[in-house]
Structure 1
């Protein structure tokens, strides 16, 4: 720890830059996971290949930069590839940077792992409307295990490691139970009102994993913060759709109307919204949200005492 303080004092930009670069490198690996895990393929071998089957050279696989250097086209065959690749790399880099700047070193490392798993789970949910158990249940198991070793994850100082670990594990277990239980009952209530499935069980498991890392307060915030983010996203999308050029012929207008109706009737993945709420809490709003919940706890305590 003292070494980190010395480096930070002499080179204040170095560790922050290192965190971003490491995040971009991890983001490059996440791109592989997002594509291969749902397809049941190994994320280790073979190495990165183009759609034409040619192996991608290392100098064409530099996170973020290679896409812009190649202008979004493969060197070997000229085929275009998605802007999502540098976006995921840059997003992960900025999340790692945010973790490092906003948290103590031990907690920052834990939240870097947390953020990476959420990014991967979110983009898989976008593409396939499912969240693999290795991310949802995996988050819960890893978060619970880390709570034993790193009580700082739940802002518990390790003055007495044994008691701190017990308290940290309790916070993690409570986060899993309250997080998954709350969203499960919300989903069941919505299903009884709408007469159709309102929420996948993958979202329930994912929120349990979020609670394992962030405690019950972070899990609860992720539900409502994620719902607010989703509503704002849908509002922006509806405005963009209305501002698009209108079709010129009646036939084109009819086709566009049918496409819009299908979009509205389609399922919307809630996993990315939960992840967005969780990351917003972890890196920006943890302190005010905890203060808010503490005020409610104090109010309930006064009421119960008469």
Structure 2
């Protein structure tokens, strides 16, 4: 007796989306470890999860999402409070994994899950430390090109001959990587000349290339300009929030002076652009792919007369 995915999905349409959500929550728990340890050059494997007081966390206190609510955000061993962000990352990963499974065929959905995991890691690490590790830039870019060859549907290639589809998909991915990183590099260089100071970190250059490897050059372009829009909205909302509620809950992105000192949002300070790029990249991957493709196709037709 062979397993028939289509028949099983038809009989139990809830099964695979639920499994994707559970898997996403588990992966989200691991992402929390990566987000905390990787910038500190610590192993993400050993030692096991432990409290800030040093006590190991029992398995029943380390259940994704649920443990934070059961413990009410306080460690069982010492009563210390720990951030809701741990549960939020797990919830967000679960939601995006489920969305990926519901929106795409299985092979592309799995590629989407890898893309989501790396976007979230880069987002929160850059938010905390203003760096994006090469794992989520160079590594993700290479993975995007390789996966594009083996999973042509990642870039919508469905030619009857697999070799042709694989070649087309790989070229689209490589084009996205090169155009994305090259465009940001030129923007950064021109801005540096005009402003007479560094306007964008090289990590952002590599990061947009990695986004382009999964979304094509259209997605890379969207992440640059869409990320700028996300940043403007975020900062505007942060100013409004501060005016109404004060500094009790910090919602503004991290800001630093050029010499690395913490600073208030304002002119002349540096803020991480990676989170905005990640949000825009995810928006394109899930929702704006066809809209952007059609937009650039129409634009090309206008220039071609």
CA–CA distance in structure 1, aligned partners of residues 3 and 296 of structure 2: 34
**Deviation (angstroms), 1:118:** 0.8
Match of 1:298 among 291, 301, 304: 301
CA 36–16 in structure 1, closer or farther in 2 if over 3 Å, else same: same
**Deviation (angstroms), 1:78:** 0.4
Map 1:150-189; keep pairs closer than 5 Å.
150-189=151-190
* Conserved? CA contact 1:147–1:172, under 8 Å: yes
Structure-1-length-normalised TM-score: 0.91
Q: Helix, strand or coil for the counterpart of 1:12? A: coil
Question: Corresponding residue for 1:119?
Answer: 120
Question: Corresponding residue for 2:265?
Answer: 263
Question: Corresponding residue for 1:57?
Answer: 58
**Deviation (angstroms), 1:64:** 0.5
Question: Corresponding residue for 1:99?
Answer: 100
CA 21–167 in structure 1, closer or farther in 2 if over 3 Å, else same: same
**Deviation (angstroms), 1:45:** 1.0
Question: Corresponding residue for 2:256?
Answer: none
**Deviation (angstroms), 1:158:** 4.7
Map 1:217-256; keep pairs closer than 5 Å.
217-244=218-245
**Deviation (angstroms), 1:62:** 0.5
CA RMSD of aligned residues (A): 1.8
**Deviation (angstroms), 1:193:** 2.0
* Conserved? CA contact 1:48–1:55, under 8 Å: yes
Could you say which structure has the higher helix fraction?
1
Question: Corresponding residue for 1:287?
Answer: 290
**Deviation (angstroms), 1:261:** 6.2
Structure-2-length-normalised TM-score: 0.91
Instruction: Tell me, yes or no, if structure 1 residue 45 matches structure 2 residue 46.
Output: yes
Deviations 1:1-60 (A, max 9, x none): 983322221111111111111111100000000111111111111110011111101110
* Conserved? CA contact 1:152–1:158, under 8 Å: no
Deviations 1:232-280 (A, max 9, x none): 001100111122359xxxxxxxxxxxx9963324321111111100100
Deviations 1:82-126 (A, max 9, x none): 111001101111111111111111111101101101100111101
CA–CA distance in structure 2, aligned partners of residues 198 and 95 of structure 1: 31
122-131 or 153-162: which moved more? 153-162
CA–CA distance in structure 2, aligned partners of residues 109 and 291 of structure 1: 25
Runs of 5+ consecutive residues of structure 1 not aligned to the other structure: 247-258
CA–CA distance in structure 1, aligned partners of residues 53 and 166 of structure 2: 51
- Rg (Cα) greater in structure: 1
CA 129–260 in structure 1, closer or farther in 2 if over 3 Å, else same: closer
Question: Corresponding residue for 2:135?
Answer: 134
CA–CA distance in structure 2, aligned partners of residues 2 and 272 of structure 1: 41
CA–CA distance in structure 2, aligned partners of residues 297 and 70 of structure 1: 56
Question: Corresponding residue for 1:80?
Answer: 81
CA–CA distance in structure 2, aligned partners of residues 219 and 121 of structure 1: 16
